[in-house]
Homo-oligomer: A and B are copies of this chain.
Amino acid sequence: MSKIRHLISIDDLSRQDIEYILKKADNFVEVAKGKKSLKILSGKILANLFFEPSTRTRMSFETAMKRLGGDVINLGSLEATSLAKGESLADTLRVVQQYADCIVLRHQREGSARFASQICSVPVINAGDGAGQHPTQTLLDLYTIRMEAKLKNLKIAMVGDLKYSRTVHSLIKALALFNAEIYLVSPELLKLPEEILEVDARFIESDLKTAIDEVDVLYVTRIQKERFPDEEEYRKVAGSYKITSDMIEGKDVVVMHPLPRVDEIAYDVDRLKNAVYFKQAFYGVPVRMAILSEVMS
């Protein structure tokens, strides 16, 4: 395994790489909770370049950096940027890297993070590039599965929008490395695309009820209204993929969600121990600490 310099796509990582990062994250759980001090990035500066809205990803990177003793500079609002004056993304990156030890980039253009890693002399971490990749999300999903269920011999159901969710696509590719059994639970209109089905994994088409009885993890995603021809159709479909407490209470299955949720998981699920989606958000911190310390050391 070679040293990780940039983190652009989950596809760049081998199973060994992933295991290495997840193991490294273990060291940071107590630090992420603020219970242990470990200022290994003291004096380092992270540049947060978010060209698209983000709350949780940006704040989670900030906390990861700051709890490790480092500091963060933010791009600020988009209208305030030099890009508004016609500057190319390449020039902005070449300037910003003069001010920082690492760049976290979210940009609407697919491939922008790869491009950034090619022109920057500091490490680049992809925090989402349009329809492309968001590898730290996939890593925190894997870490959550490892902590709250298991990565070995995993049975997981992907529920909801399997067609457009890049989060689901990336997670499936990564889970394929771990020989997971993947249940697909989605409306006809939102089935997993052919190219993802070609991944070397065991897929099982399923309904929600069967899946709940057989899997370790339900990975739920939002079904967006815009995907449907009319609202009536949407409401009917969305309702039948909604998780409620009576469906899972007492069962040995955990519920994950990349968040934000709207109503695909009922609020009364939150009180169950099956609900791990807020823990999942937390795990983003130690996982990002692992990445940041890896690329900046």
Interface residues of A (CB under 8 A from B): 34, 37, 39, 42-45, 47, 50, 53-56, 58-60, 62-63, 66-67, 71, 73-77, 79-82, 84-87, 90-92, 94-96, 98-101, 259-262, 267, 270, 278-279, 281-282, 284-285
Contacts and interface: CB of A to CB of B under 8 A. Distances in A.
Given A45-B67, A55-B80, A98-B284, 19 more contacts: A43-B67, A53-B79, A54-B80, A55-B76, A55-B95, A56-B95, A56-B96, A59-B73, A59-B75, A60-B99, A62-B99, A63-B99, A63-B100, A66-B71, A66-B73, A74-B76, A94-B281, A95-B259, A98-B281
A251 B160 CA distance: 62
Contact of A281 (B50, B95, B282): B95
Which 9 interchain pairs have the tightest Cβ spacing?
A87-B260, A53-B80, A98-B282, A63-B99, A82-B260, A66-B71, A95-B281, A62-B73, A86-B262
A55 B80 CA distance: 7
Nearest to A100: B63
Contacts of A56: 82, 95-96
